[in-house]
Amino acid sequence: MDASKGNFKYDTLQADEIRLVALNPGEFGSSIVRSIRHAKQAQNLRYYALSYVWGNRRVTKLIRLGAVVFPVTLNLDKALQHLRYPE
């Protein structure tokens, strides 16, 4: 993965929106590719809420968020590995 972390730019949220990250399927331990989108809070959606800084912020792993490399804590990476579906 490219080491150009920190280049991710968030699109501005509207007052009634939240950001959702969709996990692409894959086997446990393989790299995780994700996409991000905005959703209205009033929509009837099912999702898990996790902090992207959950754990030691100094120990990170790079993940791909769309076309950009993004650092996340090891705790978050492991949680995402467990939450995604296999291929």
pLDDT per residue over 25-63, tens digit each? 888 888 777 788 889 987 888 888 887 777 888 988 888
Which residues span the domain enclosing 59?
17-83
Q: Average pLDDT, whole number, for the chain?
A: 81
DSSP 75: H
Would residue 31 count as lying in a domain?
yes
DSSP 43: S
Q: Find out whether 52 and 61 touch, Cβ atoms under 8 Å.
A: no
Total domains in the fold of the chain: 1
List the beta strands (DSSP E) in the chain: 17-23, 33-40, 60-65, 68-73
Given this model, what pLDDT does residue 13 score? 92
Question: Residue 32 burial by CB count (10 A; 0-12/13-18/19+): exposed, middle or buried?
Answer: buried
Q: Confidence band (pLDDT; 50, 70, 90) for 5?
A: very low
Q: Confidence band (pLDDT; 50, 70, 90) for 2?
A: very low
Is the pTM for the entire model greater than 0.75? no
Q: Find out whether 34 and 63 touch, Cβ atoms under 8 Å.
A: yes
Would residue 74 count as lying in a domain?
yes
